[in-house]
A = this chain, B = another copy of it.
């Protein structure tokens, strides 16, 4: 058994099943070990951002880490943006990064770089292996770190000579740490706030947005009259008929401040106080309004669902709260707009769908339209590094082969990691992608208008324009083996959605907005 094999055996024993990979020369022993030891499915991405984004999507759905397998500093660097998102989503991810043989580093060969400096900003756990014999313990520690609640990005740098060196001895078991319980004082403080008679909201994040947490939150709302909110960009939110409706904190700070100003208490459950996405002159960074007090019920990584259930019990809340029934919007007709596109998806999406929303400005109307459709999982682009959507959808489909995945994808962001479509075709993943082709970086135009720029000059206009030339998404998808069609009306998008969702394998709709 060589070092690479000891690493892979340990990982399989710890439950790792998938590796999103774009390996090079220095990772070949790990690739051979994946072949030699059954248990890990290697999935090729044609760009590392596809691999890391897919690992994020996989983690959100599987609740456990996949590997990424990346080639040295530059290969890792290509995956950083989507690891930034994974870190913000608190997704468990384990990066395996190959490096030169230890004795070759001093030669400063062309691919040599400071991987540690590149990896640190996105890695909650980071280590360079120091011997072949340590690889088993190193990967055990990496997996344990990734699994630490609520989930972390762990990066292990594996020199190529350690991968091929022979090793002996037992494999290292992965030790999973317990989720910290919440303390009783937080519970009574939250209960006091809800009993004060003053308006309050639960701000839910992380595990609070899964079924168990949501049902408990609904009970609390019914008992206390409080509102239910979630972060502007939730990593994963269970939604639809039979689950309580949860409002997102608005994106722009002035709107968020207004929305939150009606509450005297903001109870934080698995998330932190809301902050502005960007700093705008004259507006604060922190969005809890002056008259509103933030109270922590459970921190991220604590037993968030348990805390909500304890609070519900503490309040004597009903065991079976009233929950919304099924409501689908009618199939839209006429012009294709963000609104009608959102309604079209909500009108046809199947029970159990997974919707990955990187629709940016075009995606917002979908959320309201789909509040009470058949039960589904909503994944949101998070972290702000654009280009997460197509890869995340890819990883979610790998994690949940029985479920239909729907990717609501802004065109500008989609161009960042369009190579994900090839992996979708290769693996025949059940993903229907809807590209919101507004042919601009629309959000930047909105930002210019907010900054008082009524008529941007030619270069500012050009830098937000994607229409010269028009991007033909149908051609791009077909070029990577994904069947595709273009929709220019609401009726067309409905028909094409039903076609895409009705057939196995990937499908892409260019929705011209």
Contact = CB atoms under 8 A, between A and B. Distances in A.
Nearest to A26: B278
Contacts of A21: 463
Contacts of A474: 479
B476 A109 contact: no
Contact of A456 (B32, B110, B121): B32
Given A80-B80, A164-B281, A426-B468, A275 B109 contact: yes
B279 A459 contact: no
Given A31-B460, A478-B475, A279 B84 contact: no
Interface residues of A, number: 99
Nearest to A119: B117
A416 interface: yes
Contact of A383 (B103, B110, B382, B479): B110
B383 A111 contact: yes
Contacts of A81: 74-75, 77-78
A470 B480 CA distance: 7
A447 interface: yes
A104 B276 contact: yes
A111 B277 contact: yes
Interface in A111-133: 111, 113-115, 117-118, 120-122
B84 A80 contact: no
Contacts of A383: 74, 110-111
Contacts of A426: 468-469
A186 interface: no
Interface stretch (A39-47, A334-342, A490-498): A39-47
Contacts of A109: 275-279, 285
Interface in A369-424: 382-387, 412, 415-416, 418-419, 422
A136 interface: no
A42 B463 contact: yes
B463 A104 contact: no
Contact of A469 (B25, B85, B422): B422
5 contacts: A32-B456, A34-B459, A42-B462, A74-B384, A114-B121
